[in-house]
Amino acid sequence: MTTLDAEPTPSDKPLFDLLEGFVTELRNAGLPVSLSENIDAAEAVRHVPLDDRNAFKYALAATLVKNNSHWRTFETLFEVYFSLRGKEYMLDGDEDGDPLGDLDLDEGQEGEGDGSGQGGGEGLTPEELAELLYQALLRGDDTLMRAIARQAVKRYAGMEPGRPVGGTYYLYRTLRNLDLDGILDRLMQQSREDAPDGLTPFEERLEQDEFEARIEKLRKEIEAEIRRRLVADRGAEAMAKTLRKPLPEDVDFMHASREEMTALRRAIYPLTRKLAVRLARKRRHKRKGPLDFRSTVRHSLSYGGVPAEPKFKHPRPAKPEIFVIADISGSVAAFARFTLHLVYAISNQFSRVRSFVFIDGLDEVTEFFEGVDDITEAIHRVNTEADVVWVDGHSDYGHALEVFWENYGKEVGPKTTVMILGDARNNYHASQSWIAKEIQHRARKLFWLNPEPRAYWNTGDSIVGDYGAYCDGTFEVRNLRQLERFVDNLV
């Protein structure tokens, strides 16, 4: 079923070459595309009209992307790869000549009913352009918005061919000139005036969400426009390389951008759910326990006293007690948050979870999580309410451990697994690593999770080695993938 039912005709050749390049690019970005999926894609695009860009896109998506978290990566690459190829995706590959001239031509060709307007955009003053934008947003006029996005990029981004700057820089320059926050205020003001007897907070909220959605759309238009121009300048292959973004599960906790953070927060919930299901199953399907003598005898009665069917006890694997001690100072806060989130999401796998947070002082935050079914809210409280600053609010692992040992050390027992989260950048304070030794002595296991790449450990003021000597394991946990693996092994 997967083979092509007709020999590829010569005219298909460029299409297949292009597809081949696209698939290679997807693989470079980390998407697992198998050979048979590649063949399916080639087969699929033969069944869709090639002048229908969206149909083409969905045909590729359905055959090549089998995981929804990879969709964004796919979409970006698709835009880069096929944005300039206009109606004949496959043939129009040459991008020499004046890129801007090409673009203007493209605008005319693509024309999804937006042939009006953008030609006349040149003569507008900045104020007129802003006013036009305001009107477009107020009315939700998509066509006008697209035209303005193009005009704004042309005018404000200051793009020069061959300049080695990323798209974010141009985006920033364009947005700075448009002052979208100011426009949002004006829009809200306007709708407040339009309402006969003022807006209730509820209505105001709805209005704001509506305008924000429109502004978001505009941003996307601007981004797309910048991308289009960059592709025209540098070519799709080079652009794809610079745009290569890690998949959500590979995003580094310590260097995640705001947008990536949002993606991470989205990704963590299904992840915890999957992990919980998997762990519960593992528990259920574990090997049988020792022979259950009573039950075997009881069942032998139905075979006339012959123990034909041996019965086994269900194993009861010991549930460990978990102590999480997390550094929540600025640099590693995100990492601590995700780890706490994950640990609490599967807390039914443990007999008890207690958590402590510190910067240079230490505070127990277990109660924030107890009886709360919204972990995000609890973590928010941890960040705002916990009393973790002792002197200056710079990480001091030594002192934090001292406080822990003094107040809670007695409660560490042979069933306790202690996890310390942090980069062990101690700002040259005393390490007090004897406490780690004591904890290891008393606890079942002591683990250290470090969000820094292993290569940076023990450089500068990082003293993870001092503590690591007394740990049962030190782990590099830079992204969700590594975190998931660690927690999976922990249970």
Partner 1 sequence: MTHRFETVDAVREGLRSVDYLADESIAGVAYLADRLAKPVLVEGPAGTGKTQLAKSVAEMSGSRLIRLQCYEGIDEAKALYEWNYKKQLLRIQVEKGDEDASWTEIKDDIFSDEFLLPRPLMEAITADDPVVLLIDEVDRVELETEALLLEILSDYQVSIPELGTIEAKQIPLVFLTSNNTRELSEALKRRCLFLHIDYPEMDREKEIVLTKVPDISEKLADQVARIVRSVRQLELKKHPSVSETLDWARTLVLLGIDHIDEKDAIDTVNILLKYRSDIDKAIKEFSSNSPAHFEETSA
**How is the beta sheet containing 321-327 ordered, strand by strand?**
362-364, 352-358, 321-327, 416-421, 445-450, 473-476
Among 12-20, 31-39, 81-89, 247-255, the segment contacting partner 1 (CB under 8 A): 31-39
Closest distance to partner 1 from the beta carbon of 259 (Å): 11
Among 30-38, 86-94, 166-174, 419-427, the segment contacting partner 1 (CB under 8 A): 30-38
Among 64-72, 76-84, 246-254, 446-454, the segment contacting partner 1 (CB under 8 A): 64-72
Judging by DSSP bridges, how do beta strands 352-358 and 362-364 pair with one another?
Answer: antiparallel
Closest distance to partner 1 from the beta carbon of 139 (Å): 15
Minimum CB distance to partner 1 smaller for 124 or for 188 = 188
122 binds partner 1 (CB under 8 A): no
Minimum CB distance to partner 1 smaller for 103 or for 379 = 379
Minimum CB distance to partner 1 smaller for 94 or for 373 = 373
DSSP string, 250-272: G--GGG--HHHHHHHHHHHHHHH
372 binds partner 1 (CB under 8 A): yes
AA identity, residue 146: R
36 binds partner 1 (CB under 8 A): yes
66 binds partner 1 (CB under 8 A): yes
Residues 171-230 that bind partner 1 (CB under 8 A): 200-206, 208-210, 213
Closest distance to partner 1 from the beta carbon of 190 (Å): 17
Minimum CB distance to partner 1 smaller for 163 or for 286 = 286
Burial class (CB in 10 A: 0-12, 13-18, 19+), 482: middle
> Kindly report the CA angle at 406 between 403 and 410, in degrees rounded to 5?
130
Provide the CB-side half-sphere exposure for 19 (13 A, CA): 24
Minimum CB distance to partner 1 smaller for 204 or for 438 = 204
265 binds partner 1 (CB under 8 A): yes
Closest distance to partner 1 from the beta carbon of 274 (Å): 6
AA identity, residue 236: A
Minimum CB distance to partner 1 smaller for 265 or for 319 = 265
68 binds partner 1 (CB under 8 A): yes
391 binds partner 1 (CB under 8 A): no
346 binds partner 1 (CB under 8 A): no
Q: What are residue 473's DSSP bridge partners?
A: 447
Among 99-107, 146-154, 304-312, 323-331, the segment contacting partner 1 (CB under 8 A): 323-331
Cβ contacts of 309-315, under 8 Å, gap ≥ 24:
312/288, 313/288, 313/289, 314/288, 314/289, 315/286, 315/287, 315/288, 315/289
Token readout for 200 is: 């209730």
Token readout for 459 is: 């450089």
Residue reference for tokens 């277990």: 366
AA identity, residue 198: G
Could you tell me which residues come within 8 angstroms of residue 221 by beta carbon, excluding any fewer than 6 positions away? 145, 146, 149, 150
Could you tell me which residues come within 8 angstroms of residue 306 by beta carbon, excluding any fewer than 6 positions away? 300
Number of residues that bind partner 1 (CB under 8 A): 61
Nearest to 338 by CA among 241, 192, 478, 187: 478
CB 190, CB 183: distance < 8 Å? no
Closest distance to partner 1 from the beta carbon of 423 (Å): 14
Task: Give the integer Cα–Cα distance in Å for 38 and 27.
Answer: 11
Among 56-64, 93-101, 170-178, 399-407, the segment contacting partner 1 (CB under 8 A): 56-64
65 binds partner 1 (CB under 8 A): yes
Minimum CB distance to partner 1 smaller for 336 or for 401 = 336
Residues that bind partner 1 (CB under 8 A): 1, 32, 34, 36-37, 40, 43-44, 47-48, 52, 54-55, 58-59, 61-63, 65-68, 71, 200-206, 208-210, 213, 258, 261, 265, 270, 273-274, 277-278, 281, 285, 328-330, 333-334, 359, 372-374, 376-377, 379-380, 383-384, 388, 393
